Amino acid sequence: MHLPDRVTIVEVGPRDGLQNEPGTVPTDIKVGFIDRLSRTGLPVIETTSFVHPRWVPQLADAAEVLATMTPVEGVRYPVLVPNETGLDRALAAGVREIAVFGAASEAFSQRNLNRSIAESIEMFRPVVTRAVEAGLRVRGYVSMVCGCPFQGEVPVDDVRRVTVELFELGCHEISLGDTIGVGTVGQVQHLLEALAPSVLVDRLAVHMHDTYGQGLANTLAAFETGVRVADTSAGGLGGCPYAPGATGNLATEDLVYALHGSGVQTGIDLDDLLATTAWMADRLGRPPASRVARAAMATRPPAEQD
């Protein structure tokens, strides 16, 4: 396997993880989580969403989280923004980087954004234009790239079309989401090879949910194909409120352990990350999904286990 010397990990636990908690996590716990993550060497932490609070009540405190957290110099803190109302709220909160989120599946687009794919692109257009004019970096997501719980198979051509459209709007990077974690190594390689003639592969990221335990293999397969950015969540927190059955993202620890053990640099301190995941697991009152975190917690000295 030919892996790169260094990759970028985008931590999405505070957003993708906590948006799916059955109860709303108190703001001070969210801030404690983000501040601890900020000190692990993670370069990018997606902190929250400026979506409609009725749709995702778990993240209704977005502005308060940003006003209370302590940003660390050099760490980027993007947020999700679906529309101009969300952009106005994000700009008022001092955000410097946003992500719009589309889908390759019509059925999911309707459920997640209350719009068709074409209507969602029109919703994003002024958001991206205004954000770029204001000097913000804009990422685009494409969800359901490996399959959709509502429509089943998602044609590669549909993924390509939405990816190209989001780049044309002005996104600097597109993150390909296996929202329900059903993809396999062969599927991911096929998808990336099919996209390669139309887009720059080094401007793509992958965002693998781990429902079927394929997240690590799929992410490594993407790195082998030329992708250099992957999204993960500490402890494997998360899911998607509009994708029934989806579990959390590939756990950050699981990817960092595999990469460091293979000589690939991330800039992340695995021990600090494990301590943060253990802290959050204590707050949520359940063990993390991450295999690496569970193994590490089992061998922690008893003094550190309270």
Residue at shortest CB range from ligand HMG: 177
**Which tokens sit at 110?**
């309707």
Interacting residues toward ligand HMG by CB under 6 A: 16, 19, 49-52, 55-56, 80, 82-83, 85-86, 89, 101, 112-114, 141, 143, 177, 179, 207, 209, 240-242
Distance (Å, whole) CA 20 – CA 95: 22
> What DSSP element (H or E) covers 204?
strand 204-208
Name the one range near Mg ion by CB under 5 A: 8-16, 129-137, 154-162, 298-306.
Answer: 8-16
- Alpha carbon distance 209, 179 (integer Å): 6
Q: For residue 306, how many other CB atoms are within 10 A of its CB?
A: 5
Per CB under 5 A, which region of 12-20, 220-228, 266-274, 292-300 contacts Mg ion? 12-20
Query: What CA–CA distance (Å, rounded) separates 52 from 85?
Result: 9
Which of ligand HMG, Mg ion, none sits in contact with 49, Cβ below 5 to 8 A by type? ligand HMG
| Whether 176 contacts 207, CB under 8 Å | yes
Which of ligand HMG, Mg ion, none sits in contact with 290, Cβ below 5 to 8 A by type?
none
Whether 231 contacts 238, CB under 8 Å: no
By beta-carbon proximity to Mg ion, the closer residue of 16 and 210 is 16
Q: Which does 256 bind (CB under 5 to 8 A by kind): ligand HMG, Mg ion, none?
A: none
Rank residues 16 and 253 by Cβ distance to Mg ion and give the closer one: 16
Among residues 209 and 294, whose Cβ is nearest to ligand HMG?
Answer: 209
Q: How far is CA 269 from CA 113, 189, 198, 256, in A?
A: 36, 29, 36, 9
Query: Could you give the string, one character per residue 15-54, with x where binding to Mg ion holds by CB under 5 A and - elsewhere?
Result: -x--------------------------------------
The answer to whether residue 148 is catalytic is no
103: CB partners within 8 A, 6+ apart: 109, 112, 113, 117, 120, 142, 143, 144, 162, 179
Nearer to ligand HMG, 89 or 137 (CB): 89
User: Which residue lies nearest Mg ion, judged by its C-beta?
Assistant: 16
Contact present, 135 and 92 (Cβ < 8 Å):
no
CB of 2 to ligand HMG, least distance (A): 27
- The catalytic residue positions are 240
Q: Which residues bind Mg ion (CB under 5 A)?
A: 16
